[in-house]
Structure 1
């Protein structure tokens, strides 16, 4: 056995194995590694997009929440204003009604005072005639002295 022939044979076998590996084994292996690297980079890009979308969605949610909060506060303020307006309207209606009732009561009191005065005048006239009768000891004719009695009523 010759050492040189063995080395050359091993070199030829190694060269054939290297060529076979470079031609048939290495390309599919590199293809698989490239595909895996591409999947990883796509996954990382998708994760970044997901984070960006999540941040944008969170911002939109915060904006919607702020808008809803503002709208709720506006509705509360509007309701308070409306309640205040209703209370003021009820107060005005009540004061108008009280003024109307007071005016009606004053008018009624005036009518009663006038009626009482007229009644009192009539009674005073009757008493005056009665007193005059007693003083004169004779009866005064009411029909004959109607003008005199009316003038007496107006003076009282």
Structure 2
């Protein structure tokens, strides 16, 4: 340190101080503003990127919320469509059953009418046949009865006895 103090020159000190001040002045005048501007621009760029990232994050959250909302609406619409399809299926089945019952009722009614008409026809045929047989039997009985004169008289008397005068 002593050597430093011995070698000290006040003129050199003043010149070096002036040069340092001149260098600081030149730096402030020409270099300091561009450096500060570039630092400010960089800071603004970083802040812009952070803001953009924040906006993108908010937009992403909004999109996710919209997607969830759309998904929920789609689920509700799907449930509604499934419910309507089930109701339509049930209605179609009920209508088909109703129509089938109506057709079955018509068929049963037609069958009953056919049975009734067949029954009437059979009864008419049976009556006709029974009447024919009765006539045949009566004819045979009457021939047998009328072939004998005593029997004829007895038959006429019995019929007269049975007949009442009004």
- TM-score bucket (shorter structure): 0.7 to 0.9
Q: Distance in 1 between matches of 2:122 and 2:31?
A: 133
In structure 1, the partner of 2:139 is 133
- In structure 1, the gaps of 5 or more residues are 139-156
Residue pairs, 1:19-38, within 5 angstroms: 19-38=25-44
Give deviations 1:56-87, integer Å, cap 9, x for gaps: 00000000000001101100010000000000
Are residues 1:95 and 2:75 paired?
A: no
Cα separation, 1, equivalents of 2:77 and 2:126: 72
Q: How many residues align?
A: 138
Matches within 5 A, 1:72-111: 72-111=78-117
Query: Alignment partner for residue 64 of structure 1, among 70, 77, 86?
Result: 70
Q: How many Å separate the matches in 2 of 1:133 and 1:12?
A: 174
Task: Return the alpha-carbon distance in structure 1 between the equivalents of residues 96 and 85 of structure 2.
Answer: 16
Instruction: Give TM-score scaled by structure 2 length.
Output: 0.80
- Unaligned ranges ≥5, structure 2: 1-6, 145-166
User: How far, CA to CA, are the matches of 1:55 and 1:95 in structure 2?
Assistant: 59
| In 2: Cα distance, 1:63 partner to 1:13 partner | 71
- Structure 2 CA distance for aligned equivalents of residues 136 and 24 of structure 1: 162
> Given the superposition, is the C-alpha separation of residues 62 and 2 from structure 1 closer, same or farther in structure 2, using an over 3 Å criterion?
closer
Compared CA separation, residues 121 and 2, structure 1 to 2 (3 A): closer
Under a length normalisation based on structure 1, what TM-score does the superposition of the two structures give? Answer: 0.85
1:137 aligns to what SS in structure 2?
A: helix
Query: Which consecutive segments of 4 or more residues in structure 1 shift more than 2 A?
Result: none
